[in-house]
Amino acid sequence: MRRIHFALLLILVSILLTGCLYPNDKNVIRIPDEQQIQDVQNAINAYRKDHDGLLPIKNKDDETDYFIKYLIDFKRLVPLYLSKIPDNAFENGGVFQYVILHPDINPTVKVFDLRIAEKIREIKFRLSTKEYPPFKDVIGKNAFTLEYGKLGYKEEPIIVSPFTGENLSFFITGQGDVYVDYSLDIEIYREKVDYQKFQDGSDIRFILAENSIFVPAYSLPYTINKSGELVFMEKNKNLE
């Protein structure tokens, strides 16, 4: 009987600790197991070697943003190259989508959290109930923040950044597309790492992807202008 009581006590303590660590589970971006990512990387390398450089990826539309375009097709890896699909992968009921960065020159396994997509879908659903989006402030060429109170929110929706742990907000384009604003993350990384190679009109989002196991999913390209300021890339069609 004492053993049963002790076991129940351990379960209760575990539940309480989990609640303390993740007080708002919808906003928390949990860090995936790096060993699982390495296992997938090893599988990708082996598959590529056996298939003359080809990669086990799913076909995506050419218009898909680079950072979420090359999704890994685990059906081609399991069980020959990988014993099982990672527990945290979307295909196995997890929240992480595994992708390939630099598929042509140095295929590298990265992940992004699909709960970001869920939050964007929620915002877009609320927008669909309005005749016009409730624009608030201009943050770039054809990029705006929203009056979230007019969408029924009591607080501004945010996500916790997988890169810095900071709260990140969303913005909308004139075409009605909703994206995550990673500008705060990029500014923080600019102070930590060398970003010179990302200047002169190049996409500075890579400063995040190349220094993390994550990619900046559901974003638009940023660059550095001649004044050293972080701006959206004007050549991107979404901002034209």
Q: What is the pLDDT of residue 179?
A: 98
Domain termination site, one of 53, 78, 113: 113
Task: Kindly state whether residues 143 and 207 are assigned to the same domain.
Answer: yes
- Could you tell me if residue 27 is inside a domain? no
Q: What is the pLDDT of residue 235?
A: 55
Report how many domains make up the chain.
2
Domain termination site, one of 81, 113, 145: 113
The DSSP bridge partners found for residue 113 are 96
Q: What is the pLDDT of residue 30?
A: 60
Task: Kindly state whether residues 109 and 119 are assigned to the same domain.
Answer: no
| Cα-based angle 161, 163, 169 (whole degrees, multiple of 5) | 25
Find the domain containing 189 and state its range. Answer: 115-239
Per-residue pLDDT of the chain (240 residues), as tens digits, is 444 443 333 333 333 333 333 334 444 446 678 899 999 999 999 999 999 999 999 988 888 999 999 999 999 999 999 999 999 999 999 999 999 999 999 999 999 999 999 999 999 999 999 999 999 999 998 999 999 999 999 999 999 999 999 999 999 999 999 999 999 999 999 988 877 777 667 899 999 999 999 999 999 999 988 888 999 987 554 443
- How far is Cα 74 from Cα 82, in angstroms, rounded to an integer? 8
Residue 137 C-beta-side C-alpha neighbours within 13 Å: 3
